[in-house]
Structure 1
């Protein structure tokens, strides 16, 4: 396992981070921590995890963007007045919720809603990517500083 992580860890981190940000229930934090505990470069690991996770979120956003009408009308069966009410609420507060797109359970639906409700792509990337970067940076800092805590 150590040899695999040494040889393919960064690629695996990128791919796992990408998949974890889609509707597939995976986590990438354990691999980031493992790489860092094995002496990996924190800046590189955080950058790859953030990039992969943000691209995965963009994939979920794209599903909402291009599959939104089908999802809303055929799968979720949301009527026009309910959709308009949801759109007004999301327009008022919703796009800022993308800062929380890194959270388990609610993060992927937030990205899907961002696509369905047509959040501007640049705004989506900035908000979702910022939340994901903050999460990975805090995790890396905690892992790197874990040895300095008295135990």
Structure 2
């Protein structure tokens, strides 16, 4: 866990965790899990950390979805340029919504949320599935520590 991330979460508390989790849901290499664990270690109540990390990460996934939806051609071309992006597009085309069950995983998860927008997965199904997976991931981290 990077000292900068720990400092950020300690300085800004729940809002800092929410921001770190938001950025962690994008293609920027930030570990929302490390931020979550840093927040809990710094004394943020586990339920508060669970809430704000889940909200931030879900909103970040929604931004990815929106980018994929609005810039479909361009994003699709960019995803085709990387191995994980190609896999995300292929899985989304083949499996549709169930492909998002893997969106919590590192490396492939962020491209899957972009591909969901490109593939025009219904937002009505995208939000609860992605949000539920975020809550489950952070709850599992709480259980493991």
Q: Normalising by structure 2, report the TM-score.
A: 0.79
What is the RMSD computed on CA atoms of the aligned residues? 2.9
Structure 2 gaps, min length 5: 82-87
- Superposed CA deviations along residues 32-85 of structure 1, whole A, max 9, x for unmatched, are 1122223321111001000000000000101100000233468849xxxxxxxx
Structure 1 gaps, min length 5: 78-85, 144-151
Q: Normalising by structure 1, report the TM-score.
A: 0.76
Relative distance call for 1:116 and 1:9 in structure 2 (3 A) is same
1: distance between equivalents of 2:62 and 2:21?
Answer: 12
Length, aligned pairs only: 135
- Superposed CA deviations along residues 74-130 of structure 1, whole A, max 9, x for unmatched, are 8849xxxxxxxx989746623112122121110011001100011111211111111
Q: Decide which of 12, 15, 18 is 1:11's aligned counterpart.
A: 15
In structure 1, the residue corresponding to 2:27 is in which secondary structure? Answer: coil
14-23 or 88-97: bigger deviation: 88-97
Is the contact made by 1:101 and 1:132 (CA closer than 8 Å) also made in structure 2? no
Relative distance call for 1:36 and 1:73 in structure 2 (3 A) is closer
Relative distance call for 1:123 and 1:43 in structure 2 (3 A) is same
Which aligned segments of 4 or more residues in structure 1 are displaced greater than 6 angstroms? 1-4, 86-89
51-60 or 35-44: bigger deviation: 35-44
Which structure's relative contact order is higher, taking Cα pairs within 8 Å and 6+ residues apart? 1
2:130 maps to: 128
